[in-house]
Amino acid sequence: MKVQGFNHVTIDVSDLERSLTFYTQVLGMRLVHKARHDAYLEWGMAWVCLQERPALPKPRPQLGVNHVAFSIAPDDFHEAVAVLRSHGVPIVRGPVQRGAGWTVNFLDPDGMQLELHTSNLAARMAVWT
């Protein structure tokens, strides 16, 4: 199986309009398509689908995806953290140097944990113990 890389992530949200405001106006994702119950966004090379699922139960700790991380240039990292803070976005870890780069983990309006990270896998493995 010759996989070329990561393609996209679909995130279930309780309120599409509220989430679109967060993902486009706070994070700066570009809206590509919007339908009644879903929206497709681009953020650099990443493709994100928001899917409205208001009837789903509130998330609780369980096995599965812990968070979704996005790459950001080191020169843009601290400005991005300032934007998160200025919008009152809950930051759950960081900003902190982790491995060979900077990282910050934060929550979207439904509590989905997202991360901005400045490094890559090779650099992380070079210093990981």
- Asked whether the beta carbons of 93 and 104 are under 8 A apart, the reply is yes
Fold entry, domain 9-54: 2,3-Dihydroxybiphenyl 1,2-Dioxygenase; domain 1 (3.10.180)
b (16+ CB within 10 A) / e for 97-125: ebbebbbbbbbbbbebbbbbbbbeeeeee
Helix and strand element counts for the chain (H, E): 3, 8
Q: Where are the domains of the chain?
A: 9-54, 66-129
Check whether domain 66-129 has CATH 1.10.533.10, yes or no: no
| pLDDT value for 7 | 80
Judge if 9-54 and 66-129 fold alike in CATH terms.
yes
Active-site amino acid positions: 115
pLDDT per residue rounded down to tens, the chain (129 residues)? 886 777 889 999 999 999 999 999 999 999 999 999 999 999 988 899 999 987 767 666 666 778 899 999 999 999 999 999 999 999 999 999 877 889 999 999 999 999 999 998 888 788 776
pLDDT at 44: 87
